[in-house]
Amino acid sequence: MTTAAHRPATLEDVARVAGVSRSTASRVIAGTGFASPAAREQVTAAVDQLGYVPNPAARALVRGGGVRLVVAVLGTSAAVLDDPYVHRVVGSAARVCTPAGVGVALHWLPFGDPRRLNQLDGDRSVCGVILVNTTEELLAAVPPSLRGRVVSIGVGSATVPSFDVDNAAGSEAVLRHLYAAGRRRIAMVTGPRWLPCAQRPVQTYRRLMAEAGLPERILPGDFGAARGRTAAGEALRRWPDIDAVYAISDDTALGVIAGLRDAGVRVPGDVAVAGFDDIPLAGMTTPALTTASHPVGRIAVAAATALLDGRPAAPVTLFPSALVARASA
């Protein structure tokens, strides 16, 4: 039951019914500090009578553990906060945090200024930080007092656990699919050079091309569709004989398809196109996009859960990526 029809019981209500001070009631409920056996019995009876449910956010604030989990995203501009990938991370983290009474906040870390982490370090309301687009420089800038309250989606370190997709294996599955379909002149559009996790697919591409005795045809990318469209034109000018393009993000791949169509190139008749991420739009385009899965939600849930549980996580947790074959390749 509640103390009134319009509100749940509070800690003050428990203390009043039990006939003890608020601090005594708090110690009994939290299981910390001294309280007499009689006081414990009275508080327990009051909790049962009132149906009191402790507020986890209030408990966190009292013990200095914080009431906000921050998703801190490294980017060259604040526009990175508009990335649908970032939105999926925040939404998935919120599914874990909301039942625990912990809010989720989004924070931009300007590229080249990792000291911005110090702002979070001094904020008592922050219970944990999920780093996104992590670099070695950013990891090195994590304040010692934040260690144990930080995880990374991307590259990690000895003190910062990492949760990420196995994009090397996913990229290999896509590239082998292209090869099995008879494609031999395969170009690649990469991600940002400054992002370590974006380099794993590049290394995979180079290894597979070398094993097959095929030339490397690499164009820089930024995960965006506009860059993919431009890259398609560059690829056709540099290598008019290309028969496939692999872009390491679906947005870039969709831009590539648009650029090829601008040039009158048929997809997949003349050039096959594949991406990575399996975003919802990938299965609804014409042609539907061949890609590899990226369980962003599961990754973010695991990262947030590790922070809320306060238990040491494995140094690296990689989530599998699988080929999703569709009409574009």
Q: Residue 168 — left, alpha, or beta (φ > 0 → left; ψ -120 to 50 → alpha)?
A: alpha
Instruction: State pLDDT tens for residues 82-114.
Output: 999 999 999 999 998 888 888 999 999 998 887
Confidence of residue 55 (pLDDT cuts 50, 70, 90): low
What is the side-by-side order of every strand in the sheet holding 186-189? 218-219, 186-189, 244-247, 272-274
Instruction: State pLDDT tens for residues 297-308.
Output: 999 999 999 888
Which uninterrupted H or E stretch holds 47? helix 37-50
Report the chain's mean pLDDT, rounded to a whole number.
89
Distance between CA 54 and CA 37 in Å, rounded? 21
SS3 per residue for 68-97:
EEEEEEEECCHHHHHCHHHHHHHHHHHHHH
pLDDT above 70 for 283: yes
On whether the CB atoms of residues 313 and 161 are closer than 8 A, the answer is yes
pLDDT above 80 for 262: yes
Instruction: State pLDDT tens for residues 123-169.
Output: 778 889 999 999 999 999 999 888 888 999 999 999 999 999 999 99
Q: For residue 7, what pLDDT is reported?
A: 62
pLDDT above 80 for 1: no
What is the side-by-side order of every strand in the sheet holding 103-110? 103-110, 68-75, 126-134, 150-154, 162-165, 316-319
Instruction: State pLDDT tens for residues 56-75.
Output: 544 444 444 568 899 999 99
- Angle between helical axes of 296-309 and 84-97 (0-180°, round to 10): 40
Ranges assigned E (strand) in 76-185: 103-110, 126-134, 150-154, 162-165
Instruction: State pLDDT tens for residues 26-36.
Output: 777 766 567 78
Hey, what are 281's tokens? 């739009």
